[in-house]
Amino acid sequence: MLRRKRGVALFLFVVTGAIVGGMIGDALQASQFFGENTKFLIQRYEVFSVPPATLDFYVMKISAGFDFRPNLVSILGMIIALFILDRI
């Protein structure tokens, strides 16, 4: 039971770190605080992609797909989240 809770906490921390890091990366891109030096930080790297699949039930359509394209700042956010989780 404790191992399962630890796994859920790990997943939530990593996802939260990726989201916060991605938001910081987008803010850096919008503000251009460091000028052109932020290009390598905000460049997205496609790790994997599942194209959307559509189910047509004639009454409704359901589409689902998955795309994982982190930037360097979101990867850094995931690493920081793992470090914080280790300290807790």
CA-CA distance, 34 to 11, in Å (whole number)? 32
pLDDT given at position 63: 93
Instruction: Please give the mean pLDDT across all residues of the chain.
Output: 83
Helical ranges in the chain per DSSP H: 2-31, 39-42, 72-87
Query: pLDDT-based confidence at 53, cuts 50/70/90?
Result: very high
Q: Domain total for the chain?
A: 1
Domain of residue 28: give its range: 2-87
Q: Which residues contact 47 (CB under 8 A, 6 or more apart)?
A: 68, 69, 70
Contacts of 23 (CB under 8 A, 6+ apart): none
Residue 71 DSSP one-character state: B
In this prediction, what percent of the chain has a pLDDT beyond 70? 91
Residue 23 has pLDDT above 70, yes or no: yes
> Tell me: the pLDDT tens digits for 54-87?
999 889 999 999 888 888 888 888 888 888 888 8
